[in-house]
Amino acid sequence: MSEATRELMAQRFRSFLPVVVDLETGGFNPERDAILEIAAVTLTMDPEGNLMPDATYAYHVQPFSGANVEQSALDFTGIKLDDPLRQRVALSEAEALGEIFRPVRKAIKSHGCTRAVLVGHNAAFDHGFLNAAVNRCGIKRNPFHPFSSFDTASLSGLAYGQTVLARACRAAGIPFDNHEAHSARYDTERTAELFCAIVNRYKDLGGWALAQREQGLEDL
């Protein structure tokens, strides 16, 4: 990445690096219910200032000790806790967060940013579970901003008139397979494509350039 592109990325979101995150969980309570899958997609930028997905990191997660897992959540996601392959590869919460956070920190540094900002579809849900897991695991260096996030459900409602992930993707011209949905990896990758499409469309319409020009005039 050239220094000019690195500077462009650092400027685009006020030195925050957007990282798309999705979690599949055992319910809706972040303090009580288990994280079952976690995935993250780091983003990068081309020399023309177009945002695009970079790398995907995805892991099965073992429920923490005493965690609740609702059967309705398993039915919805299709996750089978007793699957032999899952049991072999699933990581503890602390291990999974470590595997996600290490490349996120590297991406923050390589793009000249100071912190990651979570991007999610209904981001408050994922952010709440992520923060609860960070607290449970006693992690001191969380690379994500503790409360700021970008929600693609809201953004796609503005850009495409759709808030459901599958419908928003299709409105944006992004293929979406309902049979693959509700795995953390698949949903994160589609959400990343959707976020990039919205940001790039705004740029192509002159939005970010206009904002920069207006800010420049205010600074005179």
In this prediction, residue 1 carries a pLDDT of 77
Residue 74 lies in a domain: yes
- Read off the pLDDT of residues 165-183 as tens digits, 9 standing for 90 and up: 999 999 999 999 999 999 9
How does pLDDT run across 30-39, given as a tens digit for each residue?
999 999 999 9
Q: Is residue 197 over pLDDT 90?
A: yes
Which range (24-38, 136-150, 194-208) has the least confidence?
194-208
Q: Is the pLDDT of residue 193 over 60?
A: yes
| Domain membership flag for residue 39 | yes
In a domain, 156, yes or no: no
The answer to whether residue 98 sits within a structural domain is yes
Cβ atoms of 3 and 11 within 8 Å: the answer is no
**C-alpha closest to that of 51 among 142, 122, 152, 148:** 152
DSSP code per residue over 132-199: HHHHHHT-S---EEEEEEEEHHHHHHHHHS--SHHHHHHHTT----TTTTTSHHHHHHHHHHHHHHHH
Q: What is the arithmetic mean of pLDDT over 97-102?
A: 98
Between CA 194 and CA 169 the distance in angstroms is 6
Domain annotation covers residue 58: yes
pLDDT at residue 220 above 70? Answer: no
Which residues are known catalytic residues?
Answer: 182
Amino acid sitting at position 126: D
Q: What mean pLDDT is reported for the chain?
A: 94
Express each pLDDT in 52-98 by its tens digit: 999 999 999 999 999 999 999 999 999 999 999 999 999 999 999 99
Q: Of 109, 9, 23, whose CA–CA distance to 58 is shortest?
A: 23
* Res. 219: pLDDT tops 60: no
Q: Are strands 35-45 and 16-25 parallel, antiparallel or unpaired?
A: antiparallel
Say what the pLDDT of residue 4 is: 86
- pLDDT bin (cut points 50, 70, 90) of residue 217 is very low
- The arithmetic mean of pLDDT across residues 22-51, rounded, is 97
* Domain-located, residue 45: yes
The predicted pLDDT at position 207 comes to 81
Domain count within the chain: 1
More confident residue, 196 or 208: 196
**Do 17 and 111 form a contact (C-beta atoms < 8 A)?**
yes
- What residue numbers bound the domain in which 136 lies? 3-149
**22 annotated as ligand-binding:** yes
Closest CA to 188 of 15, 10, 55: 55
Does the annotation flag 37 for ligand binding? no
Q: Is 116 within a domain?
A: yes
| Per-residue pLDDT at 209 exceeds 70 | no
| The residue count for the chain | 220
| More confident position, 213 or 37 | 37
Please indicate if the annotation marks 126 as binding a ligand. Answer: no
**CATH number, domain containing residue 89:** 3.30.420.10
Is residue 80 included in any domain, yes or no? yes
Other Cβ atoms within 10 Å of 216 Cβ, number? 9
Considering the chain, what percentage of its residues have pLDDT values greater than 70? Answer: 95
pLDDT band at 211 (very low <50, low <70, confident <90, very high): low
pLDDT tops 60 at residue 46: yes
Q: Does 75 show up as a binding residue in the annotation?
A: no
